Amino acid sequence: MIWQLDLSVLTLIVVCAFATIMVKDLLSAAIIFGAYSFLMCLLWTEMGAVDVAFTEASVGAGVSTVLFIAAVHQTTRIVKPRKSGRMLSKVIGLAAALLTGLVLIIAEADFPEFASPFSPASLHLSPYYITQTLHDTNVPNIVTSVLADYRGFDTMFETAVIFTAGLAVIAILRRYKRDDRCDLPEPGVVSGGYPDTIIRFIARQLVPFIQLFALYVVAHGHHSPGGGFQGGVILGASFILLAISYDTGMIIGLMSERLNILLGNIGVLIYAGIGFLCLILGANFLDYSMLSKVLPATDKIMARSHGMLGIEIGVAIAVMAIVISIYINIISHGKYDKG
């Protein structure tokens, strides 16, 4: 860790955070937020948390920026000047914020000192993961094994949260009837009036490599940073790239709504299904070591490794489908036509 670098990156992060709130133009705010995410990614890489940095780069800086810009594109760009609210509500808000802060500060005093080597977490938990992961699960990347095995239950519900977010977007934005009334302006034309050969050609050339990289990220998550979430987001982003450079109609031709929802369901079901399979085989929920009874030529340790791979694939499928579905819903006003 180089503290000068840390300090400058942290300063820039704070500046970006304030700029995101203060800027009136929502498009600029979205772009500055992307820059903020990249800086966070830099900071995490600097701290050695490469997996988190990877997630931040693909999710925070990549896809969420695209989703924000799509939403801004479909709604309005400039913040309306809000009339200053009543004084009373402002005072109450300030008091509530200060009170919460105070309570948090008081509660924080009970925590062990930050990064203390004598806190319970670093005394008992971390050494176990660091020394026993390879022996227990045969997975060199400790982050993956903690994420997918030791706390697999948590990760399953993270996937479910993403799935629910996709469902919520569909529930709010999707309109089945063509003649529904809509307060928003008609969808603008995303690309220019004419097909742009350069962009289309390059996008077409790049997409297979991006998808290949995404699959590599999913499959290689055991040995290097990466895993289901990142890989799924990159897969979804490759489809969004196609949707931007061609038009949304083409992407709907490739990934229809039905297929999207089906894939999202299948992804979550793979995860939960592997958990239930363990249950049926007589172990605890998501205890992959029992899978060695089903998988040929594996002992209990390799079974845990394979089980993780299985749920990573499930996560990737679910995340990819949900990302694409959210993008299509936002960009086409839920009408699933060209946008």
Partner 1 sequence: MDVVVIILTVSALVFFFATTVGLLRFPDFYSRMHAAGKGDTLSSLLILMALVLYNFHEFNLANLLVALKILLIVVFIFMASPTATHAITDAGYESGVKPWSKNPEEES
Half-sphere exposure of residue 308: CA atoms within 13 angstroms, side-chain side: 31
Measured CA to CA, the distance from residue 311 to residue 315 in angstroms comes to: 6
Provide φ and ψ at 6, rounded to 5°.
-55, -45
Token pair for 136:
């227990």
Nearest distance from C-beta of residue 267 to partner 1, angstroms? 27
Q: Which is nearer to partner 1, 190 or 233 (CB)?
A: 190
Q: How far is the CB of 119 from partner 1 (least distance, A)?
A: 36
Closer CB to partner 1, 19 or 160, in the complex: 19
Q: Which two tokens stand for residue 329?
A: 């819903």
CB closer to partner 1 out of 220 and 293: 220
- CB-nearer residue toward partner 1: 206 or 283: 206
Residues forming contacts to partner 1 in the complex (CB under 8 A) are: 192-193, 196, 198-199, 202-203, 205-206, 209
Which residue's CB is nearer to partner 1, number 48 or number 193? 193
Nearer to partner 1 among residue 237 and residue 311 (C-beta): 237
The whole-angstrom separation of Cα 294 and Cα 116 is: 44
In angstroms, give the least distance from the CB of 244 to partner 1: 9
Nearer to partner 1 among residue 188 and residue 296 (C-beta): 188
> At residue 37, what is the residue type?
S
Least separation in angstroms between CB 200 and partner 1: 10
Distance of closest approach, residue 18 Cβ to partner 1, in angstroms: 21
Using CA atoms, how far apart are residues 246 and 260, in angstroms rounded to an integer?
A: 19
* Distance in angstroms (rounded) separating the CA atoms of residues 260 and 323: 10
Taking the complex as a whole, how short is the minimal distance between the CB of residue 312 and partner 1, in angstroms?
A: 21
CB of 35 to partner 1, least distance (A): 14
